[in-house]
Amino acid sequence: MTRCTPLSALALAAALALPLAAGAQQAPTPAGQRPFPPAALRGSLKIVNTAEAELNGKAIRLAPGLRIFNPQNALVFAHSLAGQSVKVNYVTEASTGMLLTAWILTEAEARQPRKGDDAIITNIRTEPAATPR
């Protein structure tokens, strides 16, 4: 029977944890760019009070765990934005439809097209076809 000394046990634990730590790291994003989730939509957000807001002119409830990030990617309190209208990328909670996360956009981020904003996303025309002669 072999005995494991404390030093060899520590070395074994470190060797086993190394691949886990390396796999958990994410590739860094280029400076000045924030990684928005693919499901994030674009809209105009106006906080009404601590429980409600207007998103694109429609009422929406704020999730209890709402996170709002400013352009520097720091968290801000919803009440500090009360009455202001800001351009955001946002994610709603799937089962309740409540606003879960919002990112206040910089001017450069707001210029990039994203689903949910007023930008033209397709070239599909909805006018009737020309009548044959």
Give pLDDT tens digits for 23-62: 444 444 555 678 899 999 999 999 999 999 999 999 999 9
CATH of 41-111, one of 3.40.50, 2.40.50, 2.60.40, 1.10.10: 2.40.50
User: pLDDT at position 127, please?
Assistant: 60
Position of tokens 């957000």?
Answer: 45
Task: Inform me whether the pLDDT recorded for 120 exceeds 60.
Answer: no
**Mean pLDDT confidence for 62-84:** 95
**% the chain with pLDDT above 70:** 62
Task: Inform me whether the pLDDT recorded for 7 exceeds 70.
Answer: no
Q: At 77, is the pLDDT very low, low, confident or very high (cuts 50, 70, 90)?
A: very high
User: pLDDT at position 24, please?
Assistant: 45
User: pLDDT at position 28, please?
Assistant: 47
User: Which range is least confidently modeled, 5-19, 20-34, 88-102, 110-124?
Assistant: 20-34
User: pLDDT at position 59, please?
Assistant: 96
Q: How far apart are the first and last CA of the chain?
A: 96
User: Which DSSP category does 50 fall into?
Assistant: S
Report the phi/psi class of residue 21: left, alpha or beta, with left for phi > 0 and alpha for psi in -120 to 50.
Answer: alpha
